[in-house]
Chain A
Amino acid sequence: EVHLVESGGGLVQPGGSLRLSCVASGFAFSNYWMAWVRQAPGKGLEWVANIKQDESEQYSVDSVKGRFTISRDNAKNSLYVQMNGLRAEDTAIYYCARLDYGSGWYLDYWGQGTLVTVSS
């Protein structure tokens, strides 16, 4: 059974940094693209970033470019996002998700999410 478990969320001051982790199990992690998606409290979903199996391709939403870095460690079945220069508008639940492909990409498995709160 596929499991994705995020960790690393918490309260951080504006301008601060945080590193989120997502540990995967139940599938061959190194064979899949992975993604981060976030959801601000009471708001809709926002795609944050994707990363290819070997890290050779990465894509992210403009609002986090230059501040967030997505990475992975296939030996540890882990996905990461390093978040620097955090802003109040980055406050959200951050989900990691697995990508698969069939007539287009899709996000088939999601973790439970970890809450990041940016506030002074």
Chain B
Amino acid sequence: DIQVTQSPSSLSASVGDRVTITCRASQNIARSLNWFQQKPGRVPKLLIYGASTLQGGVPSRFSGTESGTDFTLTISSLQPDDFATYYCLQTYSAPWTFGQGTKVQIK
């Protein structure tokens, strides 16, 4: 099974900060990585698929990059609406596996 290690598990940041979250896959997953945002009591929302393709309607301050088995979600300028938990998901092979999540909190 492919393991996905997400870091950090939490971070504190201020509005306007640049934030990066990383997922490392245990083996090659090509570009088969999704990023989701989830707010408390809400349904996960797809932000990025194919490692770097922005889902329709998602603000351009969100971006995704890939370097080998390392994948990064970047929020270029954190906004009040961005405080949430973020998850990555590898969809290269079953069983699909989510990262452990990163909670982005207000500093």
Contact = CB atoms under 8 A, between A and B. Distances in A.
A62 B94 CA distance: 10
A44 B31 CA distance: 22
A29 B44 CA distance: 21
Contact of B97 (A47, A59, A60): A47
Contact of B49 (A95, A104, A111): A104
Interface of A: 37, 44-47, 50, 59-62, 95, 102-108, 110-113
28 contacts: A44-B98, A44-B99, A44-B100, A45-B89, A45-B101, A46-B98, A47-B95, A47-B96, A50-B96, A59-B95, A60-B94, A61-B95, A102-B49, A102-B50, A103-B30, A103-B31, A104-B29, A104-B30, A104-B34, A106-B34, A106-B49, A106-B91, A107-B36, A107-B46, A108-B49, A108-B55, A110-B43, A113-B43
Interface of B: 29-34, 36, 38, 43-46, 49-51, 53, 55, 87, 89, 91-92, 94-101
